[in-house]
Copies of this chain bind each other. A is one copy, B any other.
């Protein structure tokens, strides 16, 4: 059978969402940011809420998210996306407002804004792409960098005693009464992509119900920062990141669904 018999409009089963612009993504080959972008836009498209959605881009590799997502977006100062989103949402309570942030952005400089937006239960969605490193600025150590992991500012590996512990922001904010749905996902494999998409759907549902904040962490690779090939980085991620940042729902409908204590200690 000739493939041209297959490649026909009526046989189309997947194509890139229309809500991604035509610009070539600025990300490194194999970077999870791209997959995450596509998924969010797919959900916005499926829900038909392009005109009701306002996104907030961070400072980090995804600073240019507004070049790629075909929705109205605001680029926030480093770490302040949750405050920016709060400002928007409070004045436009019927819009869907989300932030898209990296781990340096959300868990280092933006810690206070993250915690307090979650604690206030702002009816926004936070997408948190955790790649354990500062990708944008050249692979420096992030608060999420694993013990012993090398980065340009921990060239001999992260030393807990002098550099502190990797932080589990998601487990922490899950405990704040303002969060309703908290989950940790990944996008390196097709099965994960499917789960993540469901999670994103769920997050938008929560936002619609205005019951509080939805928080979707996506553990992702930064192959450039980790100095690996994309494929190797995904394997390394499974072997090293997932044990410390286990995937799955943490809080659903305002109830913690995981034994956090054993996880945290």
Chain A positions near chain B (C-beta within 8 angstroms): 108-112, 115-116, 119-121, 143, 160-161, 163-165, 167, 171-172, 175-178, 255-256, 260-261, 264-265
**Nearest Cβ in chain B — how far from A107, in angstroms?**
9
Sampled A-B contacts (5; CB under 8 Å)? A112-B112, A119-B164, A171-B175, A175-B265, A177-B265
B112 and A109 contacting across the interface, CB-CB below 8 Å: yes
Residues of B close to A112: CB separation below 8 A: 108-112
User: Residues of B contacting A175 with CB < 8 Å?
Assistant: 171-172, 261, 264-265
Q: Which chain B residues border A160 with CB–CB below 8 Å?
A: 121
Please, which residue of chain B has its CB at the minimum distance from the CB of A177?
B165
Task: Give chain A's interface secondary structure class.
Answer: helix
Taken together as a complex, chains A and B put the C-alpha atoms of A108 and B83 apart, in Å, by 13
Q: A116-B143, A116-B164 are in contact. List 13 more A-B contacts (CB 8 A).
A: A108-B116, A109-B112, A111-B111, A112-B112, A119-B167, A121-B161, A164-B178, A165-B176, A167-B176, A172-B172, A255-B265, A260-B261, A261-B261
